[in-house]
Amino acid sequence: MRFVRTAAFIFRPSILAAMVIAISPSTHPLAPIIDRLEQGGALLPDTPENVVEVVGILKSYGVVLGAYERNLNYIAEHQFLVLFPFFKYFDGEVTLRKLLKHWWHDRINYEFAEYCMKAMFWHGAHGLDIYLDSAEFRQRAGAAIQAKLRSNLVMGSLNRLLPEFLLEQVRMLCYYSALGQFWNVMSRMFLSLSDRYDCGEIQTIADVVDHVREGLVAAAANPITYAVTIAGQVYEIIPKSVGLTFLMDTAVPYVEAVFFRSFPFFGTVSYNAQAHQISPEQADFNYGALFADPLPIGGAGIPPTLLMQDMLHYIPPYLEAVYMKGARGQDDMRVKICLSFQKSMFCVTTAAMQGLAPYPFSTTDPEQQRANRAYLEQWMDRFLTSRLMQVN
Amino acid sequence: MLSILVWAPILGALLISCLPQAIGAQRARQIALWIAGIVLLWTAYLASQFDLSTASLQFQETLPWIESLELSYQMGVDGLSMPLVIISSLLSWLAIFSSDRQINRPRLYYALLLVLSGAVAGAFLAQNLLLFFLFYEVELIPLYLMIAIWGGALRGYAAMKFLIYTAVSGALILAAFFGLALLSSSLTFDYDVLQNQTLPLATQVILLTTLLIGFGIKIPIVPLHTWLPDAHVQAPTPVSVLLAGVLLKLGTYGMLRFGLGLFPEAWKVAAPVIAAFAVISVLYGSFAAIAQTDMKKIVAYSSVGHMGYILLAAAAATPLSLVGAIAQMVSHGLISALLFLLVGVVYAKTGTRDINVLRGLLSPERGLPLIGSLMIVGAMASAGIPGMMGFIAEFIVYRSSFEVFPVQTLLCMVGTGLTAVYFLVLINKAFFGRLPDNLANLPQVRWRDRIPSVIVTVLIIFLGIQPSWIMRWSETTSIALVRNRLERNVTLTVAVPMPLELSLQPDLTLLPTLPDLQG
- B380-424 pLDDT, tens digit each: 999 999 999 999 999 999 999 999 999 999 999 999 999 999 999
Q: Does B373 touch chain A (CB under 8 A)?
A: no
Q: Does A214 touch chain B (CB under 8 A)?
A: no
B341 neighbors B453 (Cβ within 8 angstroms) = yes
pLDDT tens, B433-464?
888 888 888 888 889 899 999 999 999 999 99
Is the model more confident about A259 or about B186?
A259
pLDDT of residue A274: 81
Q: Does A332 touch chain B (CB under 8 A)?
A: yes
Cβ contact, residue pair B364, A270, below 8 Å: no
Quickly state the pLDDT bin for B477 (edges 50, 70, 90).
Answer: confident
The C-alpha atoms of residue A296 and residue B360 are separated, in whole angstroms, by: 10
Q: Residue A300 pLDDT > 70, yes or no?
A: no
User: Which residues of chain A neighbour B444 with C-beta distances below 8 Å?
Assistant: 327-329, 331
* B362: closest CA of chain A, how far (Å): 7
The C-alpha atoms of residue B204 and residue A352 are separated, in whole angstroms, by: 91
User: Which residues of chain B neighbour A297 with C-beta distances below 8 Å?
Assistant: 360, 362-363, 433-435
pLDDT tens, A134-162?
999 999 999 999 999 988 888 899 899 99
Quickly state the pLDDT bin for A267 (edges 50, 70, 90).
Answer: low
* B374: closest CA of chain A, how far (Å): 15
Quickly state the pLDDT bin for A245 (edges 50, 70, 90).
Answer: very high
Out of B362, B366, B433, the one facing A328 most closely (by C-beta) is B366
Q: What percent of chain B has pLDDT over 90?
A: 62
User: Which residues of chain B neighbour A293 with C-beta distances below 8 Å?
Assistant: 434
pLDDT of residue B492: 39
Q: Residue A112 pLDDT > 70, yes or no?
A: yes
Quickly state the pLDDT bin for A7 (edges 50, 70, 90).
Answer: very low
DSSP state of B69: G
* A304: closest CA of chain B, how far (Å): 13
Cross-strand pairs, B63: B73
Q: Residue B365 pLDDT > 60, yes or no?
A: yes
Quickly state the pLDDT bin for A303 (edges 50, 70, 90).
Answer: low
Cβ contact, residue pair A328, B444, below 8 Å: yes
Out of A270, A327, A334, the one facing B365 most closely (by C-beta) is A334
pLDDT of residue A392: 86
pLDDT of residue A311: 94
Cβ contact, residue pair B366, A297, below 8 Å: no
Q: What percent of chain B has pLDDT over 70?
A: 93
Q: Does A331 touch chain B (CB under 8 A)?
A: yes
Provide CB contacts within 8 A for A294, sequence distance 6+: A335, A338, A339, A342, A387
Cβ contact, residue pair B365, A296, below 8 Å: yes
Average of pLDDT values for B186-193? 78
* B290: closest CA of chain A, how far (Å): 25
Nearest CA in chain B to A308: B365
Out of A270, A329, A331, the one facing B434 most closely (by C-beta) is A270
3-class DSSP state for residue B111? helix
* Cα–Cα separations (whole angstroms), residue B516 to B230, B268, B400, B513: 45, 21, 12, 5
pLDDT of residue A181: 97
Quickly state the pLDDT bin for A16 (edges 50, 70, 90).
Answer: very low
* B457: closest CA of chain A, how far (Å): 22
* A300: closest CA of chain B, how far (Å): 7
DSSP state of A24: P
Is the model more confident about B481 or about B492?
B481
pLDDT of residue B168: 94
Q: Residue B487 pLDDT > 80, yes or no?
A: no
pLDDT tens, B293-306?
999 999 999 999 99
- Average of per-residue pLDDT values in chain A: 88
Q: Residue B511 pLDDT > 70, yes or no?
A: no
The C-alpha atoms of residue B326 and residue B80 are separated, in whole angstroms, by: 7
Cross-strand pairs, B58: B77
Q: Residue B134 pLDDT > 60, yes or no?
A: yes
From the candidates A272, A293, A297, which should be mutated to test the interface with B, based on the most B CB atoms within 10 A?
A: A297
Average of pLDDT values for B280-289? 95
Q: What percent of chain A has pLDDT over 90?
A: 67
* Helical ranges in B184-247 per DSSP H: 191-194, 201-218, 227-234, 237-242
* Helical ranges in chain A per DSSP H: 31-38, 48-78, 96-104, 110-123, 126-132, 135-148, 153-161, 163-198, 205-219, 246, 252-254, 303-312, 317-324, 333-356, 366-383, 388-391
Cβ contact, residue pair B441, A327, below 8 Å: yes
pLDDT tens, B152-183?
888 999 999 999 999 999 999 999 998 888 88
From the candidates B362, B366, B442, B450, which should be mutated to test the interface with A, based on the most A CB atoms within 10 A?
A: B366
* A205: closest CA of chain B, how far (Å): 26
User: Which residues of chain A neighbour B361 with C-beta distances below 8 Å?
Assistant: none
Burial environment of residue B53 by CB neighbours within 10 A (0 to 12, 13 to 18, 19 or more): exposed
| The amino acid at A115 | Y
Nearest Cα residue to B210 out of B181, B170, B156, B244: B170
Is the model more confident about A23 or about A125?
A125
B135 neighbors B88 (Cβ within 8 angstroms) = no
Average of pLDDT values for B66-87? 86
Nearest CA in chain B to A336: B365
pLDDT tens, A212-222?
999 999 999 99
Out of A270, A300, A332, the one facing B366 most closely (by C-beta) is A332
pLDDT tens, A83-97?
889 999 999 999 999
Cβ contact, residue pair A295, B435, below 8 Å: yes
Out of B362, B365, B445, the one facing A335 most closely (by C-beta) is B365
pLDDT of residue A262: 86
Nearest Cα residue to B509 out of B466, B462, B463, B471: B471
Q: Does the reported pTM lie above 0.95? A: no
B200 neighbors B240 (Cβ within 8 angstroms) = no
For helices B106-125 and B129-138, give the axis angle rounded to 10 degrees.
160
Q: Residue A164 pLDDT > 90, yes or no?
A: yes
Q: Residue A265 pLDDT > 90, yes or no?
A: no
Average of pLDDT values for B491-517? 41
- Average of per-residue pLDDT values in chain B: 87
* Helical ranges in B402-446 per DSSP H: 406-431
Q: Residue A284 pLDDT > 70, yes or no?
A: yes
Q: Does A296 touch chain B (CB under 8 A)?
A: yes
Size of interface A-B (CB pairs under 8 A): 46
Q: Residue B508 pLDDT > 60, yes or no?
A: no
Q: Does A328 touch chain B (CB under 8 A)?
A: yes
Cβ contact, residue pair A298, B365, below 8 Å: no
Q: Residue B148 pLDDT > 60, yes or no?
A: yes
